[in-house]
Structure formats: C-alpha cells, structure tokens
Amino acid sequence: MNKSPDLKGLDILLFENDYSSLKNIESDLKSIGADVYTADTFGQAVGILHRTHIEVIIAGIELVDEQCIEMIKEYKALHPDALFYVLAGQEYDSVESSQESVRLVVDDYIKKPLDIIRFARMVETSVGRPEAAGTSLTVIDPLIAKVKPYFIFRSPVMRRTLYHLPQIASSDQAVLITGETGTGKELIARAIHVLSRRSSGPFIPINCGAIPESLIEGELFGHEKGAFTGAVSARKGKFEMADKGTIFLDEIGDMPLNLQVRLLRVLEEGSLYRLGGETLVPVNVRVIAASNVDLQKAVDDSLFRDDLYYRLNVLRLNLPPLRERIEDIPLLAVHFLERAFAEMGWPVPYPNLSQETIYLLERCPWKGNVRELRNLMTRVATLLPRNTGRIFPFHILPHIDEAVSAVPEIDREPGKEGVFIPSGTKLSDVEEMLIHETLKQTNGNKTKAASLLGISLRNLRRKLNK
C-alpha cells in the first residue's frame, strides 16, 4: 500500500482570488501537514515572500500577469529550489492565453479542482530538486541493461514477461511472440538475436502479411533463373540470406495454407528447394515468428496448420499492451523525445516532461501501443517551439486529440455511400456484399479491408475464395 503523502513543515504560498477555491485548497494542504500562507492580492503575496522562505508557490492563472512573473523570477533567483505551479482551468482551457514568459518559470500547470493527493506526491518528488519535475532515463531495469537500445521498462508485468529472455535467447529453439499491434514484437525478436549465439549472423525480418500471396514463396525460398516470367537470374530467398542467423516471420498468421506446408518442411528438414530448382539447399536458421491474432483460434478455424503451430510454439512470449505497462510510459516517452531531439539537432539539455504531462500520458488509451506513443512524441518534438524548456499538457493535447479522434481515411471520403441490404437477404449474401463494398472503398487493398472488417487478412482471403 502506498504511504499517504506528507508535506509536514513545507511552507506553501497560495495566491488565488477565487475565495472558495482558496479555502478548499488551503484546508486540503493543511490536512497533510503543510504550512499554508494565503494571498489574494499582489501586495500580500510580495509581503509573504519577503518575510518567509516559501518552498512552493501556487498561483491562479488569472493573477499570473507580467508583474507576478517578475516577482517569481526574482524569488527563484534567490531560491532556485522553489517550485511554482499555476492553477489552470478544468481542462487547461485558460492556459493557451498565458504569456510565453509564464512557461519559462512555471514548474507545472495543475487543474482545478486540485487533486490534493496527486499534487502532494508531485511536490514530494520535486521539492528541492527541480530537475525531478520531469523524468529521466536513469532508472533502467538491470534485466535489460545489455539490450538497452531495445528495452526500456520498470513495470512488474514486463519484468515477468521478459524474465526468461536470456535463457530463451541462449536456446536455439523456435520462438513465438504474440501481442497486439505496436507492442514491439520485432524489437523483442532483435533482442533475442543479439543475446543469442547467432548474434554475429544476419537478422532477416519479413512481414508475411505485407507481401502479395503470389510473391511470398519466392521471397522466402528464392528462385532459379527461368523459374517464372521475369526471373532473369537466380535469387536467394530470405531463408538463405538468414543462414547462420535468425529469420523473423512477422504476422505469420497471414501466411497462405499451401505455403505453411513448405515452411513446415523447411523447419523440420533444415533445407529447401528454390522455386524452379532441383538442388536441395541446406539452411541453418533460427526461426522467430510473431502474430497479433490468436493462432490457436486460427488453428481451430482451419486457417492455420496445427502441426506448424506446434512447431513454432516451442518457446512463447506474450507482450502486454502499453495500457498494462503504466509505469513504463514516462521512460518510453522521454526516450522517444530525446531520440527525436537528437535527430533534429536540438542542443542539450533537452526539454523535459512536466509531472502533469506524465500524468496525462499515463491515462491515454494507447490503442496503437508503444508505436503510437513513439509517433506522438516525435510529433511533439518536431513542432515544439525552440525556446521551450519544459513540455506541458497544452503542448501535447492537440496531438493526443488528433491521435484519439483519428478515423480511417475511408470514413472521411466525401459522398461515400453505404450498402443497401433488402430485407430477407441471406446472411451469407450480406457478408459477401459487405466485403466487396469494403474492398471497393479501399481500392482493392485487402489488408486495409480486413482491418476495417475486424478480421484477419487470411480470413478475408478464405472468404473471397469461397
């Protein structure tokens, strides 16, 4: 159980002209031990700061004018450890009108009504250490120190997930990585390769769902000269390219059934025939497969071969979604920010995240998982004003809103029509009509159509081939 916050002995100045708000916050702060001084005019605030060593200043945004800012600047020059918080509207609705000078001295913006427990914890971690108002990458789980470029975490769920990673990497058995899109399955695969005895060999990734069905066999196994029209020379496939290394088969659930048979044979025999070839080619390859769909269900639905499933599912890692890794969000956010700032040539030290911004990030749904967080932080870094020292909620809210409210492009096409289904239509015919209408709207893009229909690409192909 978390210890209750305690601000005993901390001197706080509350500068607020909303009497009701002032009294409520004063009472709450005193209830957890703080010594509270209140002011509702500039003169009263100046007098208190001259007489008392104040460690935390809280000011209502309506009172934060240029005169107030100069007061805060002068006070912070004398007391660098002092913290300055601005009470914003309920949804930061008044923040955008605040002067740029405010943003240069404020430690954070906090919403009304003040969540006293959360605010107290914010102060506990920051008082006397202004740099702690953001976060840093110094807290890295020792388990992943060797693969720091790949993993940043401190959450118990990730510790449990990756606890056996070193042993998995040292083995040469097949690995199946499962998890939602954007959880980092390829990063896990690369880390396994880096930690394995095959680390000096190649790591070859291939997305089985992104290659047309007519081409994927040649991509995997290669072809001989003249094997088909346009095959003007022999070409190695991904398996040969991965010899003495690792091949990563992403979205393995989208692999056609007829190709699954060939893959199983290669895994069992350690050799293959190129398309159009008659010579057996030996390959020494470790296979790591990944899927964001339930392969066991795919087996039950006759969409995936059970023998191949059991051949791949020797060692298993299931990656949790980001919403179950709340403790990792600050570390990941700062990592992606710093990487973006470095790529853009920003001077160090880079702008950091305020505590309120971190709180906001921790409560986002992150349907796109780590990939969505990475993209958000890259957008924020790219569009951030160059004189920014700290990133506040209003810096990221427009981009979060954009991500959360984004709808597929198909839904925004003007004049898009629905599907008219006469009463009495057979259910099988309704399904066929819906599939063909969706394919029409996506210009024949089956991957996008499958996503919009909420089914796997393989399932869509099966329905089309009926």
SS3 344: helix
Which of 120, 56, 32, 134 lies closest to 356, judged by CA? Answer: 134
Output the pTM of the full model: 0.73
Tokens of 36: 């509270």
SS3 365: coil
Q: What percent of the chain has pLDDT over 90?
A: 47
Place of tokens 């004049």: 415
The pairs formed by 162-170 with CB atoms below 8 angstroms and a separation of 24 or more are 162/317, 165/191, 165/192, 165/195, 165/317, 166/195, 168/192, 168/315, 168/317, 169/193, 169/194, 169/195, 169/196, 170/195, 170/196, 170/197
The pairs formed by 264-268 with CB atoms below 8 angstroms and a separation of 24 or more are 264/305, 264/307, 264/308, 264/311, 266/221, 266/239, 267/174, 267/308, 267/311, 267/312, 268/311
Which of 285, 148, 268 lies closest to 206, judged by CA? Answer: 285
Place of tokens 């300055």: 84
Tokens of 4: 């209750």
Encoded amino acid at 139, one letter: V
* Other CB atoms within 10 Å distance of the CB of residue 394: 17
Sign of CA dihedral 24, 27, 30, 32: negative
Q: What is the pLDDT of residue 95?
A: 59
Please give the angle made by the CA atoms of 370, 374 and 377, to the nearest 5 degrees: 135
pLDDT in tens, 235-268: 898 999 999 999 999 999 999 998 999 999 999 9
Q: What is the pLDDT of residue 3?
A: 63
Select, from the ranges 98-112, 135-149, 290-304, the one with the highest average predicted confidence (pLDDT): 290-304
Backbone Cα Rg of the chain: 29
pLDDT in tens, 177-222: 999 999 999 999 999 999 899 999 999 999 998 888 778 888 899 8
Distance from C-alpha of 322 to C-alpha of 365, rounded to nearest angstrom: 8
- Once rounded to an integer, what is the mean pLDDT over residues 10-16? 93
Whether the Cβ atoms of residue 81 and residue 128 lie closer than 8 Å to each other: yes
Distance from C-alpha of 47 to C-alpha of 50, rounded to nearest angstrom: 5
Encoded amino acid at 90, one letter: Q
Query: Which residues contact residue 256 at a Cβ distance below 8 angstroms, ignoring those fewer than 6 apart?
Result: 213, 216, 458, 461
Whether the Cβ atoms of residue 208 and residue 252 lie closer than 8 Å to each other: yes
Is 70 exceeded by the pLDDT of residue 400?
yes
* Other CB atoms within 10 Å distance of the CB of residue 273: 16
Q: What is the pLDDT of residue 99?
A: 61
Q: Which domains does the chain have, with CATH numbers?
A: 11-133 (3.40.50.2300), 164-318 (3.40.50.300), 323-405 (1.10.8.60), 415-464 (1.10.10.60)
Is 50 exceeded by the pLDDT of residue 304?
yes
pLDDT band at 410 (very low <50, low <70, confident <90, very high): very low
